[in-house]
Amino acid sequence: MAEDRFPGWHGTTIVAVRRGGRVVVAGDGQVSLGQTVIKGSARKVRRIEPGGAPILCGFAGSTADAFSLLDRLEKKLEAAPGQLARACVELAKDWRTDKYLRNLEAMLIVTDGRDLFVVTGAGDVLEPEHDVAAIGSGGNFALAAARALTETDMDAEAIARRALQIAAEICVYTNGNLTVESLEAQA
């Protein structure tokens, strides 16, 4: 697998929080290769607008692989406008079965403000519980922090920022240089 080709390659941390009429996707900026920080200000949360409808995407893993997947997701959304779930399922099916795509090493969090999904190369399209999702090297730290912070009166952005700050304090592959995007949550 990728660990054989790229020993020591580590991802990032992306967290998504839906709360109080907003959905926020936030990610850190660190790109690491082994013990070396290659870049500290990468932008791993993007806003795409296939057909004019805004979609937030966060990715962990190989940047080139993630961009290939985001490009495919955009094409799926153009073919099925307004149908994020369908586009994600189609992407996951292609990702799992296509000879080229199945070698891609990345994970995605995507939302249109109504739906929130984690998409993996194992064919998973997961809708997280508790309106919180996280992926990447520090994903479990950010997920635990965000879940705990939903017990407070903090808004979605404050929860996402604090969860990433906590993850950055614990995970050496996560830094505090954040990119944060938000959308109005839709019913």
Measure Cα distances from 32 to 9, 12, 38, 168 in Å: 7, 8, 5, 13
**3-class SS shares of the chain: helix, strand, coil, % to 5:** 35, 30, 30
Helices 63-79 and 84-97: angle between axes, nearest 10 degrees = 130
Distance of alpha carbon 141 from alpha carbon 66, whole angstroms:
22
One of 12, 13, 111, 179 is an active-site residue; which one? 12
Bridge partners for 14 per DSSP = 27, 135
Q: Is 174 an annotated catalytic residue?
A: no
Q: Tell me how far apart the alpha carbons of residues 174 and 48 are, in angstroms, rounded to a whole number.
A: 24
**How far is it, in rounded angstroms, from Cα 184 to Cα 27?**
18
Beta bridge partners of 107: 60, 120
Amino acid residing at 131:
D
Q: Catalytic residue numbers?
A: 12
